Amino acid sequence: MSSDQQYPYDPYGQSYQPDPHVTQTWEGQTWDTQYQPTVQQGRPVQPPQQPPQPAAPYPTGAADTAYLPPVAASGPYPLPPETQAVPGAYGAQAPAPAAPARAGAATAATASTAGPAYNAPTTLGNTRVTDAQRARAEGRSPIIPPGIQPAGLTAVLGLLLAAAGAAASPYVLLVPLVLLQAVTAAGWFRLNGMWPARQGIALAFAGGVAADVVLVAAGREHAPAAIIGTLGVWVLLTLVLQLRSRAGADERMQGLMATVASAALTILAAGYLAAEPDAVVVGGLAVAAATVARALPLPGAASVVVALLAAAGAGIAAAGFTGTGSGGGALLGLGAGVCALVGLRVASYDYPSRFVHMTAGVALPLTAAAPIVYLLGRALV
């Protein structure tokens, strides 16, 4: 504690030192603002003891308790008397008049005296409102197609699958298929707003690789049992891992559904290994053509029609290099094109990011077409 807090303030610059052998006792009012002690050359004179005064009666009216001290215009609290400069005293100068307030300050002061003013409500500060919710509230569509760059990557991957299918070797087909499964696993988790989800992505990708290994070992004739058996094992494994999680119930359920769906899509992509090589060629070319045609700047309905026609035309063109025939090639290409458009629609939903477009937007058209390529390939080839 400083000395100016221990002893009263002396306007003449001398500190007040009380006698340590004298004990002072205050009764009644403990401070008299009207009395100023006389200061001598030496030790200051002790102020005389005030006689005890009767306590004031407790105020009973609300008006007696509503008194507030006047506030000076220079600030929220009045200055003490000793700090106010007196003209001509000890060389002090009179304070300069305050500068006139600007028009904006005067207007604000007038508005504050008139009453509180409130601006219009806004939701700009609400960070929980997503782009999709804002788009729905404004009447806009939350659908954004992936665009031409993901379509080009899908076309390249489809051409790789078609070329590997033309080679009629499951080991050659494994190279683009494993890449497709990796992009599918990562894109599905990001599409569901889960990132990073390394354990879930690794688990789903491992399921796809396990299905590939089982298919290569068992052969095409045992493809349904291999795919369904691998899917059942991975669903059970995912359930066990989610039960061991310490997250909340809602988070565990969301993670369980996303992991099961991602593993199922990744395992179903192994259907290209189970399909006939000619069907893989037709399906890869049809998905590539449909995806690129859908990315062209055309109206919605016209773009869908053009994409389906391009898929059927690609199937007919591929039929000349395979034994499917023109009719079978057109039907297989049309089915693959429909599945490709469904995959593009899923990857376009709810304002996805560029990362979603470059993963799910690339892989889902080909992944969604794998079951139809297997089924129609067995029926038509």
- Going residue by residue through the chain, which has 381 residues, state the pLDDT in tens, using 9 for 90 and above: 444 444 454 544 455 555 555 555 555 555 555 555 555 555 555 555 666 665 555 555 554 544 555 554 444 555 555 444 444 444 444 445 554 444 444 444 444 455 445 444 444 444 456 566 677 788 777 788 898 999 999 999 999 999 999 988 889 999 999 999 999 999 998 888 776 678 889 999 999 999 999 999 998 889 999 999 999 999 999 888 888 877 787 888 888 898 999 999 999 999 999 999 999 999 999 999 999 999 999 988 899 999 999 999 999 999 888 877 888 899 999 999 999 999 999 998 877 788 889 999 999 999 999 999 999 988 887
- Find the Cα–Cα–Cα–Cα dihedral 317, 322, 323, 329, rounded to 10°: -30
Which of 345, 343, 312, 322 is closest to 180 using CA atoms? 343
Q: Which residues, 6 or more positions from 94, have their beta carbon under 8 angstroms from its beta carbon?
A: 85, 87
Q: What confidence score (pLDDT) does residue 30 get?
A: 53
Question: What's the pTM value of the predicted model, to 2 decimals?
Answer: 0.64
Q: What confidence score (pLDDT) does residue 119 get?
A: 47
Cβ atoms within 10 Å, residue 90: 6
Q: How far apart are CA 23 and CA 327, in angstroms?
A: 117
Give burial (CB, 10 Å; 0-12/13-18/19+) of 127: exposed
Q: What confidence score (pLDDT) does residue 134 get?
A: 74
Q: How far apart are CA 45 and CA 250, in angstroms?
A: 79
- 16 and 10 Cβ atoms separated by less than 8 Å: yes
Q: How far apart are CA 192 and CA 355, in angstroms?
A: 12
Q: How remote is the C-alpha of 115 from its chain's centroid?
A: 40
Of the chain, the end-to-end C-alpha distance in Å amounts to: 98
- Find the Cα–Cα–Cα–Cα dihedral 308, 311, 313, 314, rounded to 10°: 170
Q: What confidence score (pLDDT) does residue 143 get?
A: 83
Both tokens of residue 367? 């992944």
Q: What confidence score (pLDDT) does residue 120 get?
A: 47
Q: How far apart are CA 154 and CA 361, in angstroms?
A: 8
- 336 and 369 Cβ atoms separated by less than 8 Å: yes
Both tokens of residue 53? 């005064």
Q: Which residues, 6 or more positions from 148, have their beta carbon under 8 angstroms from its beta carbon?
A: 292, 295
Q: What confidence score (pLDDT) does residue 137 get?
A: 80
Q: How far apart are CA 180 and CA 178, in angstroms?
A: 5
Q: Which residues, 6 or more positions from 215, have their beta carbon under 8 angstroms from its beta carbon?
A: 170, 223, 226, 227, 270, 273, 274
Q: What confidence score (pLDDT) does residue 332 get?
A: 94
H helix intervals, the chain: 3-6, 62-65, 103-114, 131-137, 148-167, 170-191, 198-218, 223-243, 249-268, 271-274, 277-294, 300-319, 325-347, 354-380
Q: What confidence score (pLDDT) does residue 132 get?
A: 63
Which of 168, 365, 363, 180 is closest to 276 using CA atoms? 168
Q: What angle do CA 45, 51, 54 make, to 5 degrees?
A: 145
Q: What confidence score (pLDDT) does residue 79 get?
A: 54
- 312 and 282 Cβ atoms separated by less than 8 Å: no
- Crossing angle of helices 249-268 and 198-218, in 10° steps, is 30
- Find the Cα–Cα–Cα–Cα dihedral 363, 368, 369, 370, rounded to 10°: 90
